[in-house]
Chain A
């Protein structure tokens, strides 16, 4: 077992195993830090959503808490003007590439984006940036779920559970830049792929991109 250390997050002393990533230490102590792509079990954090910035005393610029290992005596602030600015920009950027019709979204009120907006006082509305107008057709699986890529934030949680928990390997990331997307090998329909409709990816999705249909529709929690 690694040794236990004490650190300070937002003026609160908390203990944690040394080397644990800061994000999980904060969350376990009920200190919320916005995040979308983080998976605790993942060996090397993807660090792609760029929402979990914090200020660590002694470091010149905000760092992502999902990649920052905790050590003895560390002093952390989850809110500074610099941190808030980065989180706000990252959040607004994600919104500009996300179909923003919360009232018609199955995930309304349990969406992680809404949670971040609430926690940080951010608006679920575009002001600085124009919408990039991402539109994809809705995919409906034979019995269990729908996939609305227009709402996907590319966090990669579905891909991770598909590979590491379900061990199916039906989906992965493809293409580059703005065209990056979650899809099957060869971009074939999910029902033609090796997808077993286990539903784990749907449960992992933090936003309204993957949703259960029918009876299971209440199973997914945000």
Chain B
């Protein structure tokens, strides 16, 4: 097809979009982040408050919904761009602040700097993101536009060069596109890091004219929300990547496999697909070329194992979401038995930028074997939780201490759980491991799809391992022996250890042997990787396991069966009754001398008294093993 037609088509789209957005540059615009995270923090109320205030004052300003900027710790977030000022970002916005911002900033030109977090453009007045460690380390490729464009208006995406890559691709031969993807060495962002180009090539070479491309958006790791955030904040980016992949391998039908627990992502995707069709970017003769392609959304029913390729396909075909033995690979026989390309949301999201800027540009970021960036949802005991994108090769230390601003409350760092239930826990000594597919694998963890949970001294590693194993055990489909029964026995052993019921250190050997056998013997990758949290914690925190078994002691004071609550009389005050009132079981009582004590028989270890005790006393403490209380009480007498 002639390049002129396609280029002309795209130029038309672009100028229309630019023209439509022009007025936004001339009046104040308020962007409210309304991805699920923002909504949960009250973004809808903030949006309504802005609309109300602006209307009641009769101002000419636009309130716009955007997706997630990644600064979850400060939700709800708002950006105000007013001509004459740099765009300013405000965190923890509530209705009171809305009134103030409208009155002082929009009406009176006082940007309320005391409430502003950061400016989004370089200026002489207020610091920008790059003035903070996080901004200095972050390098955004796929999150670049997230939080800055209206995900429900395709023109916002087009105005930022959206679909330019598709226009370019349609003037290229599919083989040339494939070469570009292969040259970029883009590796699958679903976790395993398999080179996308090789997958695409296998699909392209597979015989048959009916082929499928599928986006895997069945994100199910606890604490992971990267894919959701991208779909809610910039759905067209993934759609464009998917269309390009379809053109490359020769497919005319694509699917988004999104879990039903992501209703907002599904809604925004539906809107995006509809708008893309209206613009001629989906359907027959895309952009005037002879390429036909359309996309449907398939809602998964929330089974973790359906993120596994063969289980995902089974589920789409209406069968039980249960994995199959591979080979055949999906590239040979996937959906409906036809060659199928399945990649993660993020993998597709990198494609438009690679096409637009070239493979060499992509390779200039990150490491030679893992080029590009890594997207993490940073959660747990960390100052700045949120969604971050850093170049591959950034160390875990930089990620935790610089990007995440370290552990809050002067607590000591203990471990970082990376890669979700299939990943591992890495200790302080591994903090200088660079983040890339191979280094993490060597350290015993996996890149995973990007969940990163930071743990401090209050977290018990046995309990953490148990938590993740309980997750995979519950999510096991039950098909193969190792995963169905093996994870159950592992969980039982771990439960006994955390309850102080395991007497014999030999149980650790059984645990490890079983873990290794499950890894070697399971049918699918859910089973093969399920023991990882246990294997890594045994590898790095063996002493903690032994303490639980030998001394019935939980060093982190987390396993409730191995701790007791105790009120230190030397710290307790006769004048305070906070703990007594907080106790739901009347275990806390006032002694004859007016100080407080705990009746251990009644105590349910709910932690209320510890929280209630004022910090100036900090008299309530946890002891492990629980017998220490008896000793303490004897000392008192």
The answer to the question of A101 belonging to the interface, with a C-beta cut-off of 8 Å to chain B, is no
Residues B510 and A128 in contact, CB atoms below 8 Å apart: yes
Given the complex of chains A and B, what is the CA–CA distance between A82 and B477 in angstroms? 26
* Residues on B with beta carbons closer than 8 Å to the beta carbon of A132: 485, 488
Residues B488 and A178 in contact, CB atoms below 8 Å apart: yes
The interface on chain A, measured as residues whose beta carbon lies within 8 A of the other chain's beta carbons, has a size of 34
Residues B523 and A97 in contact, CB atoms below 8 Å apart: no
Residues A178 and B325 in contact, CB atoms below 8 Å apart: no
* Residues on B with beta carbons closer than 8 Å to the beta carbon of A129: 489, 510
* Residues on B with beta carbons closer than 8 Å to the beta carbon of A89: 482, 486, 513-514, 517, 521
Closest to A95 in B: B485
CB distance from B331 to the nearest CB of A (A): 16
Give the segment of B104-112, B449-457, B468-476 that binds chain A.
Answer: B468-476
Which of B474, B476, B480 contacts A50, CB < 8 Å?
Answer: B480
Residues B482 and A180 in contact, CB atoms below 8 Å apart: no
Given the complex of chains A and B, what is the CA–CA distance between A8 and B367 in angstroms? 44
With contact pairs A47-B325, A176-B303, A180-B479 given, residues A93 and B523 touching in the complex (Cβ less than 8 Å): no
The answer to the question of A62 belonging to the interface, with a C-beta cut-off of 8 Å to chain B, is yes
* Residues on A with beta carbons closer than 8 Å to the beta carbon of B522: 50
* Residues on B with beta carbons closer than 8 Å to the beta carbon of A179: 478
Given the complex of chains A and B, what is the CA–CA distance between A97 and B489 in angstroms? 11
Residues B325 and A67 in contact, CB atoms below 8 Å apart: yes
Residues B482 and A90 in contact, CB atoms below 8 Å apart: yes
Residues B488 and A94 in contact, CB atoms below 8 Å apart: no
* Residues on A with beta carbons closer than 8 Å to the beta carbon of B259: none
Docked complex: A103-150 residues within 8 A CB-CB of B: 128-130, 132
Residues B489 and A176 in contact, CB atoms below 8 Å apart: no
Residues B478 and A180 in contact, CB atoms below 8 Å apart: yes
Given the complex of chains A and B, what is the CA–CA distance between A48 and B481 in angstroms? 6
CB distance from B168 to the nearest CB of A (A): 40
The answer to the question of A85 belonging to the interface, with a C-beta cut-off of 8 Å to chain B, is yes
Residues B485 and A93 in contact, CB atoms below 8 Å apart: yes
Q: Mark A70-103, 1 if CB is under 8 A from B, else 0.
A: 0000000000001001100110011011000000
Given the complex of chains A and B, what is the CA–CA distance between A197 and B627 in angstroms? 62
Closest to A90 in B: B481
Which of A48, A61, A128, A177 contacts B520, CB < 8 Å?
Answer: A61
The answer to the question of A24 belonging to the interface, with a C-beta cut-off of 8 Å to chain B, is no
CB distance from B44 to the nearest CB of A (A): 36
CB distance from B357 to the nearest CB of A (A): 38
* Residues on A with beta carbons closer than 8 Å to the beta carbon of B481: 48-51, 90, 93-94
Docked complex: B193-218 residues within 8 A CB-CB of A: none
* Residues on A with beta carbons closer than 8 Å to the beta carbon of B521: 50, 53, 62, 86, 89-90
Given the complex of chains A and B, what is the CA–CA distance between A176 and B473 in angstroms? 10
* Residues on A with beta carbons closer than 8 Å to the beta carbon of B517: 85-86, 89-90
* Residues on A with beta carbons closer than 8 Å to the beta carbon of B482: 50, 89-90, 93
* Residues on A with beta carbons closer than 8 Å to the beta carbon of B478: 154, 175-180
The answer to the question of B484 belonging to the interface, with a C-beta cut-off of 8 Å to chain A, is yes
Given the complex of chains A and B, what is the CA–CA distance between A85 and B478 in angstroms? 21
Q: Mark A31-66, 1 if CB is under 8 A from B, else 0.
A: 000000000000011111111010000000110100
Which of A47, A64, A93 contacts B486, CB < 8 Å?
Answer: A93
Residues B510 and A177 in contact, CB atoms below 8 Å apart: no
Closest to B478 in A: A180
Closest to B328 in A: A44
* Residues on A with beta carbons closer than 8 Å to the beta carbon of B485: 93-94, 96-97, 132, 178
Q: Mark B491-514, 1 if CB is under 8 A from A, else 0.
A: 010000000000000000010011
Closest to B324 in A: A44
Residues B480 and A47 in contact, CB atoms below 8 Å apart: yes
Closest to B327 in A: A67
Residues B320 and A64 in contact, CB atoms below 8 Å apart: no
CB distance from B596 to the nearest CB of A (A): 42
With contact pairs A86-B517, A93-B481 given, residues A177 and B489 touching in the complex (Cβ less than 8 Å): no
CB distance from B368 to the nearest CB of A (A): 25
Residues A62 and B325 in contact, CB atoms below 8 Å apart: no
Q: Mark A176-189, 1 if CB is under 8 A from B, else 0.
A: 11111000000000
CB distance from A102 to the nearest CB of B (A): 19
Residues A177 and B474 in contact, CB atoms below 8 Å apart: yes
Closest to A44 in B: B324
Docked complex: B55-89 residues within 8 A CB-CB of A: none
Residues B480 and A48 in contact, CB atoms below 8 Å apart: yes
Given the complex of chains A and B, what is the CA–CA distance between A44 and B478 in angstroms? 18
CB distance from A134 to the nearest CB of B (A): 10
Residues A177 and B477 in contact, CB atoms below 8 Å apart: yes
Closest to A96 in B: B485
CB distance from B490 to the nearest CB of A (A): 10
CB distance from A189 to the nearest CB of B (A): 22
CB distance from A132 to the nearest CB of B (A): 7
With contact pairs A48-B480, A48-B523 given, residues A93 and B475 touching in the complex (Cβ less than 8 Å): no
* Residues on A with beta carbons closer than 8 Å to the beta carbon of B489: 93, 96, 129-130
* Residues on B with beta carbons closer than 8 Å to the beta carbon of A45: 325
* Residues on B with beta carbons closer than 8 Å to the beta carbon of A94: 481, 485
CB distance from A169 to the nearest CB of B (A): 14
Q: Mark B318-353, 1 if CB is under 8 A from A, else 0.
A: 001000110000000000000000000000000000
* Residues on B with beta carbons closer than 8 Å to the beta carbon of A47: 324-325, 480, 523
* Chain A CB within 10 Å, residue with most, of B325, B475, B485, B517: B485
Closest to B474 in A: A177
Closest to A173 in B: B320
* Residues on B with beta carbons closer than 8 Å to the beta carbon of A97: 484-485
* Residues on A with beta carbons closer than 8 Å to the beta carbon of B484: 97, 154, 177-178, 180
Given the complex of chains A and B, what is the CA–CA distance between A96 and B487 in angstroms? 13
* Residues on B with beta carbons closer than 8 Å to the beta carbon of A86: 517, 520-521
Given the complex of chains A and B, what is the CA–CA distance between A96 and B482 in angstroms? 12
Docked complex: A155-207 residues within 8 A CB-CB of B: 173, 175-180
CB distance from B99 to the nearest CB of A (A): 51
Given the complex of chains A and B, what is the CA–CA distance between A128 and B474 in angstroms? 22
CB distance from A90 to the nearest CB of B (A): 5
Residues B475 and A50 in contact, CB atoms below 8 Å apart: no
Given the complex of chains A and B, what is the CA–CA distance between A64 and B520 in angstroms? 11
CB distance from B290 to the nearest CB of A (A): 37
Given the complex of chains A and B, what is the CA–CA distance between A9 and B304 in angstroms? 39
* Residues on B with beta carbons closer than 8 Å to the beta carbon of A46: 325, 479
Closest to B321 in A: A176
Closest to B472 in A: A177
Given the complex of chains A and B, what is the CA–CA distance between A128 and B481 in angstroms? 16
Which of B475, B492, B523 contacts A130, CB < 8 Å?
Answer: B492
Given the complex of chains A and B, what is the CA–CA distance between A173 and B320 in angstroms? 9
* Residues on A with beta carbons closer than 8 Å to the beta carbon of B488: 132, 178
For the A-B complex with A89-B513, A180-B479 known, give 8 more contacts whose Cβ atoms are closer than 8 Å. Answer: A47-B480, A50-B481, A93-B485, A128-B514, A175-B478, A176-B476, A177-B475, A178-B488
User: Can you list 30 A-B contacts with CB-CB less than 8 angstroms, sorted by A residue number?
Assistant: A44-B325, A46-B325, A46-B479, A47-B325, A48-B479, A48-B480, A48-B523, A49-B480, A50-B482, A50-B521, A62-B521, A67-B325, A86-B520, A89-B482, A89-B514, A90-B481, A90-B521, A93-B486, A94-B481, A130-B492, A132-B485, A132-B488, A176-B476, A177-B473, A177-B474, A177-B476, A178-B478, A178-B484, A178-B485, A180-B479
| A interface with B by C-beta (< 8 Å) | 44-51, 53, 61-62, 64, 67, 82, 85-86, 89-90, 93-94, 96-97, 128-130, 132, 154, 173, 175-180
The 5 residue pairs across chains A and B that have the minimum distance between CB atoms: A180-B478, A47-B325, A93-B485, A89-B517, A177-B478
